[in-house]
Amino acid sequence: MPVTVLVVDDDVKFRRLAVEVLAAIGCQVVGEAGTYAAGAAAAGELRPQAALVDVRLPDGDGIALAAHLAALPWRPRVAVTSSDPDATSTAAVQTFGAAGFIPKDALPDGALAAMLLGG
């Protein structure tokens, strides 16, 4: 059974790309959201096993959302992403339980699979 994933990013084009990349690595995207509030609500409803969260969201800090998601009772694996490769680091996001950080332009390189699938 594929890992279920929630994608939270305000860029619709990027969300479409992320869905394709995630499907290619064997994940099933069960929801998409463009804001902090919508991402938090979707996570509560859908209970995804993993999430891909953008650092910058129009209504809040994506890093704070990633921390919130990583702390949910079912402990989804969370990968943080940004178009700015210097927005944060894997070490920084791992301090609150996220699996890591990956710049958006590096998504298809296999690191995302390792973060979300635990491989």
* Amino acid sitting at position 55: V
Report yes or no: 76 and 99 within 8 Å, Cβ to Cβ. Answer: no
Q: What is the pLDDT of residues 59-105, one digit of tens each?
A: 999 999 999 999 999 999 999 999 999 999 999 999 999 999 999 98
Q: How far apart are the first and last CA of the chain?
A: 16
Strand-pair category, 50-54 with 77-82: parallel
| Between residues 90 and 119, the one the model is more confident about | 90
What is the structure's pLDDT at 119? Answer: 58
| pTM exceeds cut of 0.85 | yes
Delineate the domains of the chain, giving CATH numbers in brackets.
3-117 (3.40.50.2300)
Q: Where are the beta strands (DSSP E) in 1-119?
A: 3-8, 27-33, 50-54, 56-57, 60-61, 77-82, 100-103
